[in-house]
Structure 1
């Protein structure tokens, strides 16, 4: 049986504290990050191959993906995307919910579908849309 000494316990507590601080800071910075919703796109990958890239702004749309591995339906609305149907057994991808922020993902492992929100930054802002300039 391995016996922990006071220094071992202190090191473990220190590592946990550093980990929690790092995760908390990352969460706060991600929540405060600003982006233009009109620059966001969803990149859909099926079995490691690019299936489609969809800008998230615009009209509501349903994307149906039928492969030899299965059948999925994605719905694009309100500047985001959600898996609304998956024929896989556990339907975990449907439980991932609505994603609308950069780097959020939806993954359907049995059907090998990966959806990631990216900020492509290709859309130019009109001067009328700019609220303020910061120096």
Structure 2
């Protein structure tokens, strides 16, 4: 039987606290950033090839994708995109939900569809008034 010593337990606790602090810090930093919907685009790739780029500030629309691998429907609304239909067996891509922030993805492996939100230009809007520049 494996016996843990006081130092082992202390090391495990320290690593758990540091890992949790890092994750909370990243989540807090990401939640403070806001992006202009006019600068966000959903890049849709099918079988590794570019299929379509859809600006997320456009009107509500449905994108019907029929390939030799399967059938999917994406819906663009509220400055984001969501997979609303997939004919693959487990429908995991539909469970990925609504995405609207840069670097979020929807992936349908059996149908070889990859959707990613991309920030096309401009700096993220600051969450609060802050320093505009630093001159030395």
Same fold (TM over 0.5): yes
Distance change (3 Å), C-alpha of 1:133 and 1:5: closer
- 2:61 corresponds to which residue? 61
- 1:19 corresponds to which residue? 19
1:1-135 correspondence runs (5 A): 1-121=1-121, 135=132
Structure 1 unaligned spans of 5+:
123-131
Superposition deviation, residue 133 in structure 1: 8.6
How far, CA to CA, are the matches of 1:80 and 1:112 in structure 2? 21
How far, CA to CA, are the matches of 2:34 and 2:27 in structure 1? 14
Structure 2 unaligned spans of 5+:
123-128
1:10-66: CA deviation from partner (whole Å, max 9, x where unpaired): 111111111110110111111110211110000111122221111111122211111
Superposition deviation, residue 2 in structure 1: 2.7
- Structure possessing the higher relative contact order (Cα contacts under 8 Å, 6 or more residues apart): 2
RMSD: 1.7
Which shifted more, 93-102 or 21-30?
93-102
- Aligned pair count reads 126
How far, CA to CA, are the matches of 1:48 and 1:58 in structure 2? 25
Runs of 4+ in 1 over 4 A off after TM superposition: none
Q: TM-score, normalised by structure 1?
A: 0.85
